Structure 1
Amino acid sequence: MDSNDHAESQIPPSTPETDQQYPPYRSPLIVRGLVFAFLIVVVVSIYSGNIFKPAPEAHSFKGEMQQLGLAYHEFHRKQERSPASLEDLQDFIANPPPPPKADGIVPPDPVTVVTLPDSLEKMIKEGTVVVIWNAVLTDSGQENDKYLLAYTKDITQNGGFAMTAAGRVLELTPDEFRAYPLVPAVVDEVEPAEADAKAEESPQTRSSDTAEEKQTEAEKPPADKE
């Protein structure tokens, strides 16, 4: 046997198993598959985002109601009472009180003025949004959260948004709204002049006046008879 035959005998014969270890170059197919999968992921993410994205109008109105709660509570914090009307709250926003003076080491709380959107002011004036004015608020947010401070007018029929006295905005059904009590309001105090006028017209005053008149008439000398 010569040297050429010996070299050829050392080369292993080609078998199907050895061919599978060296597959043909298929990178274009892999790239296409990755691009196709990426497109599917993008389409699914966009579609799912449109489904679960909240309605812009509902989100905007909820934010406006939250601004109303912030302005209402800021008025109550600085004036130590609740606003009596929308005009009262608007006047506070337009003419905020001056910042308090620092009397000690701890600086006083600054005055935070929250503006109301024009669209919400219009809805309050038209009665589309009902607000409880002169509300009795406490220092406990948990206690205030048990009552409703504002709500949409048609919530009893169609459901809608409502705001608790703590400033939390909820979307309630008609039954859920009926289960929530409204925040109590302060009864308008009678002016001193009106109270005096009512006291003058009271039955006790009138009876005392009548008694004095009778006593005066009794003390008068009898008229001379002709």
Structure 2
Amino acid sequence: MDSNEHSESETPTFTPETDRQHPPYRSPLIVRGLVFAFLVLLVVGIYSGRLFKPAEQAHSFKSEMQPLGLAYHEFHQKRERSPSSLEDLQDFIDNPPPPPKAEGIVPPDSVVVVTIPESLKKMIDAGKVVVIWDAVLTDSGQENDKYLLAYTADIADNGGFALTAAGRVLELTAEEFKAYPLVPTVTDAVKPDDVEAPEKDSGESTNKEPSSEPAPQESTSSDKG
């Protein structure tokens, strides 16, 4: 056999079937499709994370309201009254009471006061969280739990989170919030009936009408014997 014929017989020939089995440029197209799908998934993940991200207000109230209740009760325990404002409570936190007197060799531990997160204080200052100051608290946690001490400002319309006077965080609907009583305050505790009525004027003689009877005449010495 001629060498030219041998080389021609070894040269592979392509048929339409083999072209369909091995199409040109198939691998680059697959790579581009995978990259595009990855980018689409990445963008969807970013935006879905933003859409389904928990509300900042709900997260702050649920996780940070409990320290507010603890600090509120610490203030009430040490000063035997409730704080009258956020500034009053913050002053107590910044200036904790001194530790108790040492009764033995080991010195007592310093008083540790629960701090309030800055984000929650900003929400209180902005009016997004309502706190009832000067609250009348009892020694019974079960009794305090019947009343609300703090709540989100829009809870009456949209529902939200609330803090009981016992320090328990609740998620309430608008209807449940309206049915839940608020903790009484010092002003509420003073009823008009408790205020003593002013004393009446003791000078009754000034209000009496003058008597119409003539005054008795004094006897003189000339009338005797």
**One fold, TM greater than 0.5?**
yes
Identity %: 74
Question: Per-residue CA shift, 1:70-107, capped at 9, x if unaligned?
Answer: 111111111111101111001001111111114489x9
CA 1:203–1:170 in structure 2 vs 1: closer, same or farther (change >3 Å)? same
In the other structure, the counterpart of 2:174 is 174
**Runs of 4+ with deviation above 4 angstroms:** 107-110
C-alpha separation in 1, matches of 2:110 and 2:79: 14
1:162 CA drift (Å)? 0.4
CA 1:77–1:203 in structure 2 vs 1: closer, same or farther (change >3 Å)? closer
In the other structure, the counterpart of 2:215 is none
CA 1:128–1:146 in structure 2 vs 1: closer, same or farther (change >3 Å)? same
C-alpha separation in 1, matches of 2:84 and 2:126: 17
Contact kept, 8 Å, 1:136 with 1:185, in 2: the verdict is: yes
In the other structure, the counterpart of 2:194 is none
1:140 CA drift (Å)? 1.0
C-alpha separation in 2, matches of 1:109 and 1:159: 42
In the other structure, the counterpart of 1:62 is 62
What does residue range 93-108 of structure 1 map to in structure 2 within 5 Å?
93-103=93-103
The AA in structure 1 aligned to 2:86 is L
C-alpha separation in 1, matches of 2:112 and 2:140: 20
What does residue range 6-45 of structure 1 map to in structure 2 within 5 Å?
none
C-alpha separation in 2, matches of 1:139 and 1:97: 21
What does residue range 70-149 of structure 1 map to in structure 2 within 5 Å?
70-103=70-103, 111-149=111-149
The range that moved more, 84-93 or 115-124, is 115-124
Matched residue count: 154
Secondary structure of residue in 1 paired with 2:163: strand
In the other structure, the counterpart of 1:186 is 186
In the other structure, the counterpart of 1:163 is 163
For structure 1, the residue ranges without an aligned partner over 5 or more in a row are 1-49, 190-201, 213-226
For structure 2, the residue ranges without an aligned partner over 5 or more in a row are 1-48, 190-197, 207-225
1:60 CA drift (Å)? 3.7
CA 1:112–1:56 in structure 2 vs 1: closer, same or farther (change >3 Å)? farther
1:110 CA drift (Å)? 5.8
Contact kept, 8 Å, 2:81 with 2:134, in 1: the verdict is: yes
C-alpha separation in 1, matches of 2:53 and 2:135: 32
C-alpha separation in 2, matches of 1:134 and 1:108: 31
C-alpha separation in 2, matches of 1:143 and 1:108: 32
C-alpha separation in 2, matches of 1:184 and 1:108: 36
CA 1:70–1:109 in structure 2 vs 1: closer, same or farther (change >3 Å)? farther
C-alpha separation in 1, matches of 2:115 and 2:130: 18
CA 1:109–1:158 in structure 2 vs 1: closer, same or farther (change >3 Å)? farther
The AA in structure 2 aligned to 1:132 is I
The AA in structure 2 aligned to 1:120 is L
C-alpha separation in 1, matches of 2:53 and 2:60: 10
Greater gyration radius? 2
Contact kept, 8 Å, 2:60 with 2:120, in 1: the verdict is: no
Q: Note the aligned Cα RMSD (angstroms).
A: 3.5
Question: Per-residue CA shift, 1:1-34, capped at 9, x if unaligned?
Answer: xxxxxxxxxxxxxxxxxxxxxxxxxxxxxxxxxx
Contact kept, 8 Å, 1:74 with 1:112, in 2: the verdict is: no
Question: Per-residue CA shift, 1:52-82, capped at 9, x if unaligned?
Answer: x994733443111111111111111111111
